[in-house]
Structure 1
Amino acid sequence: MRLVGSSQNLSALDGWHGNLQLAYARQAESTQLIHEQVQAPLKVQRPFYPEGPEVCHSAILHTAGGIVGGDRLSLQAELQPNAHALLTTVAATKIYRSNGLEATQTVQLDVAPGACLEWLPLETIVFNQAIYRQDIRVELAPGGLWMGWEMIRFGRSARGERFLDGNWRSHTEVWQQGTPLWIDRQWVPGSEAVFHSPHGLGGCPIVGSFAFVGRSVDPNLIEKARHLWQGRSGEIGATRLMSGLLCRYRGSSTIEARQWLIAVWHLVRTHYLHRTACIPRLWQLESRYSHESYPPN
């Protein structure tokens, strides 16, 4: 796990320079958070174990309430052999209108042999005129597993706001011993044309992705993931990766995006981890706050 040097202060011009470093280890029959280093505005809550000692759930908190232009956030998480951790966020992430500077978040995830990391943050809301870039790199050892998702709402659509000005980029890479297993680069420049283009947002304010990497996936599992979508109104896709599964959503409902991605997550968890999806209590609290509901475990 990479370490950073001395603390950096908040500057009105530069924004927050936050850092969070976590390390997990398997000790006897339990996964323990053995190292944490925090720098505001990032924090991690006390680990909890809603499904027993083998899986450590951790929630990341952004104490400033949202990300603004000039913010530079860095997160690193290391899983030692046979550890299993689920990382999520306390609330939806808000990317505010920029002051002209780009906000960035860099995530480095290292997963050792036999370890499993579930990277499942809550929804990100990208305000109109936001400028933001996120880079996620996963170093996945042979025998390790990684699954992750992101759900993005472009514009505060409940207020009638659309993402017509600004810039959003998300780059995710999963590597294994110098070989790329999955590279995903997304770019949404705010404009009327991109918002309505069938090759852009297609008039839909919400997109979502779920990826599972580390095992060969049977075509039957792909069909099951697609079948879970029946009866909903948005657009979805599911396909095999070189060593995993990728699902996409584009539509207008956070509820249906969450429900489908949670259902796919449950499917993958049951098949490969022999565990049902254990929905963190934080998601349920966030759901009540936003008048949304999740399917039961």
Structure 2
Amino acid sequence: MIIEKAINNDSEQELKNSWFASLSLTFSLTPSGTQLTRTERYGPLSVQKAFYPEGRDCAHIYLLHPPAGIVSGDELHINIAVKRQAHSLITTPGANRFYRAREDHAIGDSKQVQHCKFYLAACAKCENFPLETIVYEGADGFNTVDVHLQNDSAYLGWDITCLGLPSSGQPFKHGRYSQLNRVYCQNTLIYHDRIVIKPENKVHQHIAGLNHQSVFGTFLAYAPLGQFDDDELKTLIVQLREHIISEKADDNISVSQVRRLLIIRYLGQQAEQCKALFIQLWQILRPLYLNKVASIPRIWHT
């Protein structure tokens, strides 16, 4: 469904070429387990029913965007609320795409925007594992992920960005893309990370930027207060680094810490390598953070 962001005759053609969509989901713990208790949607964003491949206490949800990509003028807003003691795992059935922006638009009108917000209540658990985002040459994309935590909630989530299609002879040269990740705990900002890629700042090429690499990813892991002491967290970081070295990926992945937030970064050329390594690290982290072994979403196998 196309909705009007402004109502006037001059904007009628513009509205036909733009999509505004929003999706709000609420997960609650009920006597029968975690359930998707509220869904509000507007435009081309939706979900099917919750899946329970590992029992009723964790609801798996696949976010669906039938257009399969974001074009000039599009705005997608996704809001996920996980109530007290509920546990949700969010993923997607395929890659997200920021397509080439329309060249006939005025400056600023070509923006392609996605905002994702996660709100975790006390003792809530949320895992956010979208498949990769492909940013096409000539795109003008802006992607934001905001996570709002409580001291005793737990979060595991990643984003993986692929710039252009270099293996198909379509490198990312003239496009623009901004990625903003923020984490709040008890309404206090504890993590802010922003990258702005555009031709004039040469972040894509600079050795202090992406150093000509086309794939970058960030995996964030937050443990509830008291779950690990400082020594245990340091031991865990050593374990993660040792695994990365064993996979001969220490040139691609780093692990750091801000308070109780673990930050795992990938920089390289292969989205599949990034995803495979992130899954391996998730398999280490999930039993420690959520007391559950990793259960691979079935949609990833299709």
Q: TM-score, normalised by structure 1?
A: 0.89
Q: Which moved more, 1:239-248 or 1:196-205?
A: 196-205
How far is 1:40 from its partner? 2.2
1:237 maps to 2:254: yes
Q: Larger Cα Rg: Structure 1 or Structure 2?
A: 2
How far is 1:228 from its partner? 1.9
- In the TM superposition, what whole-angstrom CA distance separates every residue of 1:25-70 from its partner, at most 9, and x where no partner exists? 0012510000111222111121101111100000001111210011
1:169 maps to 2:157: no
How far is 1:132 from its partner? 0.8
How far is 1:250 from its partner? 0.6
Q: What is the correspondence of 1:1-297 to structure 2 with a 5 Å cutoff?
A: 8-9=3-4, 12-14=13-15, 15-99=18-102, 100=105, 101-190=110-199, 193-215=202-224, 218-230=233-245, 231-232=247-248, 234-285=251-302
RMSD: 1.9
Q: Which letter maps to 2:264?
A: C
CA contact (8 A) 1:40 1:63 kept: no
How far is 1:141 from its partner? 1.8
Residues 174 and 192 of structure 1: CA distance in aligned 2, closer, same or farther (over 3 Å): closer
- In the TM superposition, what whole-angstrom CA distance separates every residue of 1:152-198 from its partner, at most 9, and x where no partner exists? 11001221211111211111211122311222212222469433321
Residues 245 and 43 of structure 1: CA distance in aligned 2, closer, same or farther (over 3 Å): same
CA contact (8 A) 1:213 1:243 kept: yes
Unaligned runs of 5+ in 1: 1-6, 286-297
Q: Which moved more, 1:236-245 or 1:119-128?
A: 236-245
CA contact (8 A) 1:155 1:163 kept: yes
CA contact (8 A) 1:181 1:243 kept: no
How far is 1:272 from its partner? 1.6
CA contact (8 A) 2:154 2:289 kept: no
Inter-partner Cα distance in structure 2 for 1:193 and 1:183: 21
Q: Which moved more, 1:170-179 or 1:85-94?
A: 170-179
Q: Which moved more, 1:91-100 or 1:213-222?
A: 213-222
Residues 243 and 29 of structure 1: CA distance in aligned 2, closer, same or farther (over 3 Å): farther
Residues 133 and 66 of structure 1: CA distance in aligned 2, closer, same or farther (over 3 Å): same
How far is 1:90 from its partner? 1.4
Unaligned runs of 5+ in 2: 6-11
Q: Which moved more, 1:57-66 or 1:215-224?
A: 215-224
Inter-partner Cα distance in structure 1 for 2:89 and 2:139: 29
Q: Which moved more, 1:248-257 or 1:18-27?
A: 248-257
Q: Which letter maps to 1:223?
A: V
Residues 131 and 219 of structure 1: CA distance in aligned 2, closer, same or farther (over 3 Å): same
Residues 226 and 29 of structure 1: CA distance in aligned 2, closer, same or farther (over 3 Å): farther
Q: TM-score, normalised by structure 2?
A: 0.87
How far is 1:142 from its partner? 2.3
Identity between Structure 1 and Structure 2 (%): 28
CA contact (8 A) 2:3 2:43 kept: no
Inter-partner Cα distance in structure 2 for 1:141 and 1:192: 37
Provide the aligned length of Structure 1 versus Structure 2: 279
Match of 1:228, SS?
A: helix
Q: Which letter maps to 1:118?
A: E
Inter-partner Cα distance in structure 1 for 2:167 and 2:70: 20
| Alignment match, 1:288 | none
Match of 2:57, SS?
A: coil
How far is 1:113 from its partner? 0.4
How far is 1:12 from its partner? 4.7
How far is 1:223 from its partner? 1.4
